[in-house]
Every structure is written in C-alpha cells, then in structure tokens.
Amino acid sequence: MGNSTFEKDWEINFTQCYSNGRIRYSDLSNLLQLTAGEHATHVGFGFREMAKNNQTWVLSRIRLEINRLPKWMDTVTIKTWIQQLEGAKSIRNFEVFVNQQLYVTATTYWAVINTVKRGPEELAIPLGDFQTFPERFSTQKPFSKLNLTQHVKPIDSYTVKISDLDIVNHANNVKYLDWCMDRLPMELVLTNQIQVIEMNYLKELRYNNTVEINGNSTEKGYFMTVAKQQRISFALEIETR
C-alpha cells in the first residue's frame, strides 16, 4: 500500500492568494493537480513516462467541497489516493488539511488521451500491484455530469493567450476557472460564500481561440459556461452557503 496513497506539504505564498489573503480557487485546484502529478510520477505513470507512449492524463471532472480556504503562509497537507483505475479512466480523491483540520475535499475524474491523435486511449503502462480504494470517498457527493441546458446569459468574450497555454499546448484547465471567477461579483469570491465548485472539462481550447463566457444565477448559486462557436468547452457550477 506504500505507493498507493500519497501526501505532500505545500506552503501558500502570496502569489497564490486573492487580495483577502486566501488562496485563489484556481491555485487550490492547481495544487491538487500538482500533488496528483507527483503521486503519478512516484508510482511510474507520471508525465515523462506517459509521454514515451504519446499519452497524458487529462482532467475531465472535478468537485471541490470547501469548509474554508487556506491563507497566505499556511502549510497545507494534501492527501490523495486513487479510488478507481480502469482502462483509460481514473477517479482520484483528495483531502486538504491545515493544522490537522480538514479544510477542503475533492474528487476528480481523469482520462488518458493520446497526445498525437488527441483522443482517449487505454493506459499503455502496466500498473503492477498498484492498489486502489474503491470504498474510500472524500466528498459528500460524487462529481457529476453537469446539466448543460441551463439558461445562461452572455457575460464577456475572451481570446486565449500565450500565458493560458500549458505544456500540452492547450489552455490549462485552471485558466478556465480564473476566467469565470474574474466575472463573478467580487464579494461572492472574497467572502467565503462558496461551498461547492463543480467543473466539467468538455473540449480543449487552443491559442487564439475566441470564446464566449456565459453565466446565470441559480437557486444554489451560479452556473457558467465557456463556449467556442456555441459549443461548450467548460461548465462550472457554484453552490453558495
């Protein structure tokens, strides 16, 4: 079981924080993904190993349940484990602690894609005796397929820039969250009102793509989409306290 669970400490620095001194939601999501990446490297199916087979892991869905947000100079312990790993798909869970207090939980759904064909593919690396934890959940509810038919209004348009791109040469997934958060009321983002964030990543975006950012308030909070030529690339649902 030694390799099957993983934990890492991170110190929150000021570049990761909003003006209220709390970590940005996008940076929180990024820390989860960095921890997942280190765990994957540790057990032999990290970025470099995957690249030998023209493969990479792509985040498809994520659900964050937030008790409170870590702040500047906090040391955050992130624990992670894989609940399920079959073929081209994986469910990975997280717990985020500060001073042994549980601040955030998350569950994520990943797919293996071929970086040349840009399509899903079974993991080419043999797993050996890697252990999964099918009964070990982290969040109160699982991630879901968001209802994309919800009514939204146009908010803004945006063109993907060089700084949005990652090493796989598409818009990095944390950027979508920033684009949306930047268009929400400031007091909503900065006053600990957000209890749940759920995201679906549907289609990749490339440099110079122009997208429409749409949104609307809901009974629970907010629903937002990022769409290219009316085809949704990203959907975000926020539940407030």
pLDDT tens readout for residues 28-74:
999 999 999 999 888 877 778 888 888 888 899 999 999 999 999 99
- Which residue type sits at 93? N
The per-residue pLDDT for 1 is 41
Q: How confident is the model at residue 2 (pLDDT cuts 50, 70, 90)?
A: low
Compute, in degrees rounded to 10, the torsion defined by CA atoms 192, 141, 131, 110.
-80
pLDDT tens readout for residues 180-236:
999 999 999 999 899 999 999 999 999 999 999 999 999 999 999 999 999 999 999
Query: What's the pTM?
Result: 0.93
What residue ranges define each of the domains in the chain, with the CATH number in brackets? 1-140 (3.10.129.10), 144-241 (3.10.129.10)
pLDDT tens readout for residues 123-180:
888 776 778 899 999 999 999 999 999 999 999 999 999 999 998 889 999 999 999 9
The per-residue pLDDT for 122 is 81
Go through 169-192 and write b for each residue having 16 or more CB atoms within 10 A of its CB, e for each that does not. Answer: ebbbbbbbbbbbbeebeeebbeee
Q: Which residue has the higher pLDDT, 14 or 122?
A: 14
Axis-axis angle for helices 25-43, 173-181 (nearest 10): 170
pLDDT over 80 at 83, yes or no: yes
Please report the sign of the dihedral spanned by the C-alpha atoms of residue 203, residue 207, residue 208, residue 214.
positive
Question: Under a CB-based contact definition with an 8 Å cutoff, are residues 238 and 221 in contact?
Answer: yes
CA distance 47 to 25: 24
